Chain A
Amino acid sequence: MKIGKQTWRFQEPVYLISTGTTAGPLEKRGPLGETIDKTFDDLHCGEKNWEAAERRLMREAVDICLKNVNLSPEEVDYFLAGDLLNQTVTSNFIARETRIPYLGLFGACSTSMMGLALASLLVDGGYANHVLTAVSSHNATAERQFRYPTEYGGPRPQTATFTATGAGAALVGKARSPIVIREATIGRVIDWGIGDAYDMGSAMAPAAADTIERHLHDTGRNPEDYDMILTGDLSSVGSPILRQLLWERDLDISEIHQDSGLMLYSPNQPVFAGGSGTACSAIVTYGYIVRLLRTGKIGRVLIVATGALLNPTIIQQKESIPCVAHGIVLESTGGE
């Protein structure tokens, strides 16, 4: 059911039944390394090129997610997936392997929550029993697509973010589980004129602020009603900007706000302002947050995945970066 202007509230409980996460070596050594299902010590993940390595990450995440609940791909109705590469090629190839009816998604780094929102909608509407959603990103494939070759020696400014290597998969359905997907808020595209691909935190902060404000307005809740508001990849630059933007709108989220890009890596790791990438919010949500909800350590969390809808060609034509953020509310049923 639609409530307010941009929010869906799911009528029958829709459950997050299972998740699977994979990541590369840097994420493994980060503070949340223990919460990732499978990690690789080498960026190549045993494959012959970076693109194949990214497919490996998504394939393994999907496998883990389905194996957790002993489900075969044939029992899944739809597969909604996205990544950062042209034509969402990683997702296309995984869909080719799993043979689950497939819709490819692109929302840059907001794709994780976009997929989860659409999966919940399909289940809630009675159009599916099980929907699988997955996202991936790889530092080297993203660098080459959006910036420079990985080994190029051009320096980056400290506002730059670092694309996370990994993947996250989630299975949504009606079967009871300790995590309920309560609401989804679909974001508007916001662009306040930032055109610097090395400063995506600043570019995305207004989009995150807009979605959070809309969400709280639509649901009639206050920031205090959440144990955590988790943004995707605003980094150490965009996070304080978001808090300031909302504070000026009389919404104080400073006590409960966290950012996936800052949680995935420790401050001494070489990630500049913090992690980013489609996998960033997915690894943190489907790994760490899901564990907290499963055990009932936190009750309600709003996850706002932020996406910089950046196109490397159009950026050269001096345009700015349109940004979007999608929010999902996950609730614990009280722990296992």
Chain B
Amino acid sequence: MKTLNDPKNYKKNIKAFHPKTNYFMNCLKAFLVGGFICLVGEAIQKAYAAFTDYTEKSAGNPTVATLILISSLLTGFGVYDKIGQFAGAGSLIPVTGFANSITSAALEHKSEGIVLGIATNMFKLAGSVIVFGVVSATVFGLIRLTVNNLLG
């Protein structure tokens, strides 16, 4: 009989006591909420193209800015973390999740002052995303350049 009083295999044996993670439901929620955020983005982009001087192509930047603004406001009102708990990756991966990580860190460290509090800590969570974004962009850019030159 399996005994729980076994320090070596404790980590393995306690799995039975943990609530089961429903991966299917998590994926579904992430898909729906993530998809909804993209839908909102699409609508904003179309609206910029239709009602302003932006073209369908150049409307991308103001669209991202608008999504960031909405996400930051929702973070400030204390709503975004609740959406995050529900949607998981669905609200973490889009640009709104990136904005949330920056705004929440800035809010958190407000009490330590503008320079050493907000400015220093703002990219505490987002910093890793930027690092890996820049590094992978460089690597893949080099690969693309090499391949193009070899083929061309």
Give the interface SS of chain A, mostly helix, strand, loop or mixed: loop
Q: Which of A144, A149, A153, A237 contacts B83 (CB 8 A)?
A: A153
Cα-based distance from A156 to B111 in the complex (angstroms):
26
| Structural contact, A155 and B84, CB atoms closer than 8 A | yes
Give residues 33-76 of A contacting B (CB, 8 Å).
48-51
Q: Across the interface, do B4 and A148 meet the contact criterion of CB distance under 8 Å?
A: no
Binary A-proximity of B87-100 (CB < 8 A = 1, otherwise 0): 11001100001001
CB-based nearest B residue for A195? B11
Chain B nearest Cβ from A297, distance in angstroms: 31
Which chain A residue has the least Cβ–Cβ distance from B108? Answer: A149
- Structural contact, A151 and B78, CB atoms closer than 8 A: yes
Q: Is B75 an interface residue (CB 8 A)?
A: yes
Considering only CB atoms, which chain B residue lies closest to A140 in the complex? B108
Q: Is the CB of B111 within 8 A of A159?
A: no
Q: Among B15-23, B40-48, B55-63, B128-136, which stretch is in contact with chain A?
A: B15-23
| Complex: chain A residue closest to B21, CB-CB | A157
Which chain B residues numbered 124 to 151 have a C-beta less than 8 Å away from chain A?
Answer: 125
How many Å lie between the Cα of A154 and that of B97 in the bound state?
Answer: 9
The reply to whether B84 and A153 form a contact with Cβ atoms under 8 Å apart is: yes
Given A192-B7, A194-B10, A152:B84 Cβ within 8 A: yes
Which of A78-86, A179-187, A242-250 makes up part of the contact surface? A242-250
Using known A-B contacts A151-B103, A159-B18, determine if residue A193 contacts B111 with beta carbons closer than 8 Å: no
- Closest chain B CB from A191 CB (angstroms): 9
A49 to B108, CA, bound (A): 9
Q: Identify B5's interface contact among A155, A199, A202, A248, CB under 8 A.
A: A248
Interface flag for A241 (CB, 8 Å): yes
In contact, B108 and A144 (Cβ under 8 angstroms): yes
- Give the interface of B toward A (CB within 8 A): 3-5, 7, 10-11, 14, 17-19, 21, 75-76, 78, 80-81, 83-88, 91-92, 97, 100-101, 103-105, 107-111, 125
Contacts A152-B101, A249-B5 aside, 18 further interface pairs with beta carbons under 8 A come to A149-B107, A149-B109, A151-B76, A153-B75, A153-B80, A153-B83, A153-B85, A153-B100, A155-B87, A158-B19, A159-B18, A159-B19, A194-B10, A194-B11, A241-B14, A241-B17, A244-B17, A248-B3
